[in-house]
């Protein structure tokens, strides 16, 4: 059992730098929580306050119902993996992994230490490296040792701060899958920090999206993708980034329409219902739509011209320019195109684009809040 609860947590560094403002979050037992956001948004600071590596300026952190603000890191029953591995260069892989166990009081038997280290090594596929020193390992292997060292100890909460960011893209994908397996095996509460939205989406049961020390939204991957609470979340989650156009949202009877570049498109019924329930009238908005939801159409679309064609293999990312020189991105699956069509999508080519009413998002231009958040 390990719930983690942060209540009104605030971090003020020396010089009155407020790194985290009023952070509130209830993490359930065995939940995998990801903190994600751009550099400097306060992810590591928050994690380090849970770990006890950073003093909490205001508010409380509870682990299993116990306020831990004044507990030493070693008394919090946490394990932590850092971005830079922090392995001891003069110790073998085995001894690096055994290190936290050798510190335990009362002492753990050598047999127990051996069993725990070898079984963690097995899980992580590093058995054959147990007698090597860290410098004789690749980055990915070192990272596994660092994870192994955190795994051997019984802990209530597993904390990871950008554990994969030093790895190349391919290895990162592989390790991401291993973390999913690891999580199933050790079945404990995880708090995982990353600035990578793909990692956040694929690993998290829930994602906490942060900006400038504030929580912008907490939700499952599906919720934050389908129902972003504000423009920041809408554009942070999903790649390439969500397109935006300033236009009007028009209410006609029970129906709603948008008019990007003078093209009138109907909002789908379910979204119209939410807008109506929220009492939204005709108004200016920022309209959002994702690149993968854009269709190239023959008529009644928004006229654009191709700027850049990025061939990604299974899809093309078309960067297009609108009549007022705004840039939009269109994702076209290559299987839908003939060879001629594919080759025709070159710079300067004029097209019309559209998108269905089901995939539209509407934001207040001032507050940047979504008009679809149910009130």
Ligand X SMILES: Nc1ncnc2c1ncn2[C@@H]1O[C@H](COP(=O)(O)OP(=O)(O)OP(=O)(O)O)[C@@H](O)[C@H]1O
User: Is residue 194 within the footprint of Mg ion (CB under 5 A)?
Assistant: no
Distance CA 167, CA 188 (A): 25
Q: In what order do the strands lie in the sheet with 295-297?
A: 295-297, 350-354, 302-311, 315-321, 327-333
Distance CA 355, CA 260 (A): 11
Q: Considering the complex, state which of residue 54 and residue 266 has its C-beta at the smaller distance from ligand X.
A: 54
Candidates 7, 12, 31, 40; binder of ligand X (CB under 6 A) is: 40
Task: Report which of 215, 175, 157 is spatially closest to residue 83, judged by C-alpha positions.
Answer: 175
Instruction: Map residues 23-62 to x or -, x wherever contact with Mg ion holds by CB under 5 A.
Output: ---------------------x------------------
Asked if 247 and 230 touch (Cβ cutoff 8 Å), the reply is no
Q: Considering the complex, state which of residue 42 and residue 140 has its C-beta at the smaller distance from ligand X.
A: 42
| CA dihedral over 340, 344, 345, 346, signed as positive or negative | positive
Q: Considering the complex, state which of residue 44 and residue 244 has its C-beta at the smaller distance from Mg ion.
A: 44
Instruction: Map residues 177-206 to x or -, x wherever contact with ligand X holds by CB under 6 A.
Output: ------------------x-----------
Q: Considering the complex, state which of residue 82 and residue 261 has its C-beta at the smaller distance from Mg ion.
A: 82
Question: Where in 41-60 is the site for ligand X (CB under 6 A)?
Answer: 41-45
Dihedral angle at the C-alpha atoms of 78, 83, 149, 106, nearest 10 degrees? Answer: -40
- Backbone φ/ψ region at 144: left (φ over 0), alpha (ψ -120 to 50), beta: alpha
Q: Considering the complex, state which of residue 214 and residue 261 has its C-beta at the smaller distance from ligand X.
A: 214
Determine the interface stretch with ligand X among 36-44, 102-110, 226-234, 318-326 (rule: CB under 6 A): 36-44
User: Is residue 12 within the footprint of ligand X (CB under 6 A)?
Assistant: no
User: Is residue 33 within the footprint of ligand X (CB under 6 A)?
Assistant: no
Q: Which residues of 71-97 are buried (b: 16+ CB within 10 A; e: fewer)?
A: eeeeebbbbbbebebebeeeebbbbbb
User: Is residue 79 within the footprint of Mg ion (CB under 5 A)?
Assistant: no
Tokens of 192: 């995982």
Tell me which residues touch ligand X (CB under 6 A): 13-14, 17, 19, 37, 39-45, 195
Tell me which residues touch Mg ion (CB under 5 A): 44
């Amino acid at each position: 059992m390990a719930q983690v609860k942060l209540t009104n947590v605030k971090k003020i560094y020396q010089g009155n730098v407020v790194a985290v403002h009023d952070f509130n979050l209830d993490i359930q037992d065995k939940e995998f929580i990801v903190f994600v956001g751009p550099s400097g948004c306060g992810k590591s600071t928050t994690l380090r306050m849970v770990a006890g590596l950073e003093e909490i300026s205001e508010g409380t952190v509870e682990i299993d119902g116990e306020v831990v603000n004044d507990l030493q890191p070693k008394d919090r029953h946490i394990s932590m993996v850092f971005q830079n591995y922090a392995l001891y260069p003069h110790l073998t892989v085995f001894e690096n992994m055994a290190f936290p166990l050798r510190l335990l009081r009362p002492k753990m038997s050598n047999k127990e230490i051996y069993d725990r280290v070898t079984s963690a090594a097995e899980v992580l596929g590093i058995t054959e490296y147990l007698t090597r020193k860290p410098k004789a390992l690749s980055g990915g292997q070192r990272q596994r040792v660092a994870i192994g060292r955190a795994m051997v100890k019984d802990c209530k909460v597993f904390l990871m701060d950008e554990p994969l960011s030093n790895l190349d893209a391919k290895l990162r994908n592989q390790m991401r899958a291993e973390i999913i397996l690891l999580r199933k095996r050790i079945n404990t509460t995880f708090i995982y920090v990353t600035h990578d939205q793909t990692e956040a989406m694929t690993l998290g049961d829930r994602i906490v999206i942060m900006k400038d020390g504030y929580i912008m939204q907490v939700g499952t991957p599906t919720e934050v993708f389908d129902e972003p609470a504000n423009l920041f979340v809408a554009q942070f989650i999903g790649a390439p980034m969500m397109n935006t156009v300033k236009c009007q949202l028009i209410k006609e009877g029970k129906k709603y329409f948008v008019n990007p570049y003078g093209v009138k498109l109907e909002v789908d019924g379910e979204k119209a219902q939410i807008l109506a329930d929220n009492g939204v009238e005709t108004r200016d908005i920022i309209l959002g739509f994702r690149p993968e939801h854009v269709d190239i159409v023959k008529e009644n679309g928004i006229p654009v011209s191709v700027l850049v064609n990025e061939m990604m293999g299974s899809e093309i990312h078309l960067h297009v320019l609108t009549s007022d020189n705004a840039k939009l991105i269109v994702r076209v699956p290559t299987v839908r195109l003939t060879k001629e069509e594919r080759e025709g999508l070159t710079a300067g080519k004029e097209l019309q684009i559209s998108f269905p009413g089901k995939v539209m998002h509407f934001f207040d231009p001032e507050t940047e809040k979504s008009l679809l958040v149910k009130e």
